[in-house]
Amino acid sequence: MKEKITVISLGGSLIVPKDGIDVKFLQNFKKFIEASEGRFILVCGGGVTARDYIKAAGKILKLTSDDLDWLGIEATKLNAQLVMTILKKVAHPEIASNPTKKLNFREKVLIGAGWKPGWSTDYDAVLLAKTYGAKQVINLTNIDYLHDKNPTIYKDAKKIKEIDWAGFRKIVGNKWVSGANLPFDPIASREAQKLGLELILANGKKINNLKKIILGEKFIGSIVK
């Protein structure tokens, strides 16, 4: 019987929030991964690093959508290298930059990053789930639940514990916009729906809650299926 592979889209806001690299989170996440049963594919987002580079370049010249995406992609690779470094005892030594290419990794962890312009690392996570036969993607951010609209802007935003793909895609839309602050990439959502994947959205800082997700226990978060 093959060992289960858990695919996690690790939001850049967890790795690099507004006040810089979150060392405490990375320490806790490292301990969790190393102590957990099974194997993991971790796809790292760009976070504030990506936004800072995009903002800086945008002050100098008008950026194309490809410019925005390439800056974001390189930021995800830097974050992926950081995560791979701290997990080097259990991680495959090569970053999975092409999610459609199956690597012969035997280690506990495979680290992924951005690939091409036109989508985010959420889409890479979905493609990696397809490549390695996973049926679920866990999207970790810095909020507990999916909401019907952005809770940081709208005080009347309502949390959603479970929703189908059709309803979810009405929330996230159908078009990818570089730097957009969405619960999940619209292009990734379309592909995940087509593949019949289950998506879990949860707060990555709550490590004990993440353990419950991995173990299939009741957890704080949202399910899309």
| CA end-to-end distance (rounded Å), the chain | 26
* pLDDT the model gives residue 180: 65
- Asked whether the beta carbons of 158 and 148 are under 8 A apart, the reply is yes
The contacts of residue 7 (CB under 8 Å, 6+ apart) are 40, 41, 43, 125, 128, 129, 132, 134, 136, 137, 138
* pLDDT the model gives residue 1: 46
Residue-range domain boundaries for the chain: 5-224
Q: How big is the CA angle at 117 (ends 172 and 83), to the nearest 5 degrees?
A: 85
Q: Which residues of 130-148 are buried (b: 16+ CB within 10 A; e: fewer)?
A: bbbebebbbbbbebbbbbe
Closest by CA to 189, choosing from 169, 171, 161, is: 169
Q: How big is the CA angle at 165 (ends 164 and 171), to the nearest 5 degrees?
A: 100
Residue 193 tokens read as 């729906």
- Asked whether the beta carbons of 45 and 12 are under 8 A apart, the reply is yes
* pLDDT the model gives residue 204: 94
* pLDDT the model gives residue 53: 94
Q: CA–CA separation, 85 vs 75, rounded Å?
A: 15
Element (H or E) spanning 102, and its range?
none
* pLDDT the model gives residue 179: 61
Blockwise average pLDDT, block size 10, the chain, 225 residues: 85 92 96 94 94 94 93 96 97 96 94 93 96 95 90 88 95 78 89 96 95 94 96
pLDDT in tens, 130-181: 999 999 999 999 889 999 888 888 889 999 999 999 999 999 988 877 666 7
In CATH, what number does 5-224 get? Answer: 3.40.1160.10
Q: How big is the CA angle at 21 (ends 8 and 160), to the nearest 5 degrees?
A: 45
